[in-house]
Amino acid sequence: MDSLAQIASCIAGYDPRALPVAQAQDFIARLVPRVQAIERVAVRSALGRVLAQDLISPIDVPAHDNSAMDGYALRSAELDPAGETQLLVSGTAYAGQAFVGQVPAGQALRIMTGALMPAGLDTVVPQELTRLGSDGRVSIPAGVVRPGDNRRLRGEDLARGEAALHAGRIVRPADLGLMASLGQAEVAVLRRLRVAFFSTGDELRSVGEPLDEGCVYDSNRYTLHGMLTRLGVELIDLGVVPDRPEALRQAFSQAAACADAVISSGGVSVGEADHTKQVMAELGEVLFWTIAMRPGRPMAIGRIGGQESFSRIGGQDSRSGGGGGGGAILFGLPGNPVAVMVTFYAFVRAALLAMSGATAQPLPPLRAISVAALRKKPGRTEYQRGIVSQGSDGRWQVRITGAQGSGILRSMSQANGMVVLHHAQGDVAAGELVDVLPFDGLV
């Protein structure tokens, strides 16, 4: 396991006081371990889980050559290329029932979609292209099909022994169907990542408590709950922790002992007077970064817990195959509600997916026209909350949701995506294309 200093030495231009987003992402990718423990779950329960092993097809899919259409199966060699062909219909093949017998030369077979192709027949003419005479003969005009048309070949979807899905895949609805089509009742997935989180700050009150003078309700645990739930990790909500060294020490140790990753919010700003940073540093190897981004500049990252603190709080590592004795990965996020979400999407999301064993699936950004001019200083990455809609010309456009202050959660709620203005990018003119990360996806 590399020390944080060793990792930092691999990052070109590493400067903890002005760290570009890409460098911070690179650092985190090198830092995080991956869960190892495997469990078997029923196919339906695999949705959203990470496949532990390649899923090898035990069968050919489809298992037999079959018809892709309702129509007539025939021998393509018997079709007259110059004129109409007439063939006597010798019977019917239904899906799920093997057709018994032979189709004599010069004859066709009425066939349903999914029915097995009888031996010797190679092509299906869709019913709507044919005419059935009262004499039981089907007439097929010239040139309506080519040899092999409308026939699905055995194994064309998947050949036996082929990998249908690869390890590291996050299982999606289509994959459940694919697993079922292979006759699988269960699959091997990696155990779920455990993530503990809490909010820090003396000014925070929990929902249900009276709001004392100068206090705010803790909203970060709610947005974190939402984002973590969407990621499919196991959540451990440790509540609000006051700015007292013993309380913070207890919360961080408890979190590190029971989780693979610990997310705190608040108390990491430069010149912060509270005790959060001090306690983090005491419990492990932690770096305090100022990231060249807006919002969300301060952030702490590192490992806390580890072997001695497990024994100190009397807990054996219950995280079989997880972080092992190496403790938990700490993400100390800033306190501002929007900064929490932006730093989560910019850094924590990909890190937790990697820890969960998922192979990287970068989110494809949407390119949209900025309706208004945007001011942007080169040398930092800016995330602005935006509303993407379709213009009257059918092209995608984005407008910024009013005030962008990092405490204004309402604009995050109004937005349906984040406009990402990259590190080197300068001012954006109205009508220019910008990158947007949409909040919602189809699956």
- The β-bridge relationship of strands 234-241 and 194-200 is parallel
Name the minimum Å distance from CB 341 to Mg ion. 17
Q: Using the rule CB under 6 A, give the single segment among 38-46, 184-192, 251-259, 261-269 that binds ligand AMP.
A: 261-269
Name the minimum Å distance from CB 265 to Mg ion. 9
Name the minimum Å distance from CB 22 to ligand AMP. 24
Among 20, 168, 232, 266, interactor with ligand AMP by CB under 6 A: 266
Query: What distance in Å separates the CA atoms of residue 377 and residue 293, rounded to the nearest whole number?
Result: 10
- Residue 121: name the closest of 161, 150, 95 by CA: 150
Q: Is 295 among the residues that bind ligand AMP (CB under 6 A)? A: no
Output 266 or 323, the one with its CB closest to Mg ion: 266
Q: Is 20 among the residues that bind Mg ion (CB under 5 A)? A: no
Query: What distance in Å separates the CA atoms of residue 435 and residue 422, rounded to the nearest whole number?
Result: 9
Name the minimum Å distance from CB 398 to ligand AMP. 27
- The β-bridge relationship of strands 85-93 and 107-111 is parallel
Name the minimum Å distance from CB 221 to ligand AMP. 6
Name the minimum Å distance from CB 254 to ligand AMP. 18
Name the minimum Å distance from CB 275 to ligand AMP. 11
Partner from ligand AMP, Mg ion, none contacting 336, C-beta within 5 to 8 A by type = ligand AMP
Paired residues of 86 in beta bridges: 139
Assigned token pair, 395: 């092209």
Q: Is 269 among the residues that bind ligand AMP (CB under 6 A)? A: yes
Q: Using the rule CB under 6 A, give the single segment among 39-47, 311-319, 335-343, 417-425 that binds ligand AMP.
A: 335-343
Among 204, 259, 301, 351, interactor with ligand AMP by CB under 6 A: 204
Among 201, 306, 332, 417, interactor with Mg ion by CB under 5 A: 201
Q: Is 336 among the residues that bind ligand AMP (CB under 6 A)? A: yes
Q: Using the rule CB under 6 A, give the single segment among 19-27, 215-223, 248-256, 373-381 that binds ligand AMP.
A: 215-223
Using the structure block, give the residue that is written with the tokens 């019977």. Answer: 91
Terminal-residue alpha carbon distance, the chain:
36
Site for ligand AMP in 395-424 (CB under 6 A): 407
Q: Is 201 among the residues that bind ligand AMP (CB under 6 A)? A: yes
What is the total count of residues that contact ligand AMP (CB under 6 A)? 18
- Residue 57: name the closest of 159, 170, 153, 176 by CA: 159
Query: What distance in Å separates the CA atoms of residue 296 and residue 343, rounded to the nearest whole number?
Result: 6
Site for Mg ion in 284-343 (CB under 5 A): 335
Q: By the criterion CB under 6 A, which residues form the site for ligand AMP?
A: 199, 201, 203-204, 216, 218-220, 265-267, 269, 272, 334-337, 407
Q: By the criterion CB under 5 A, which residues form the site for Mg ion?
A: 201, 266-267, 335
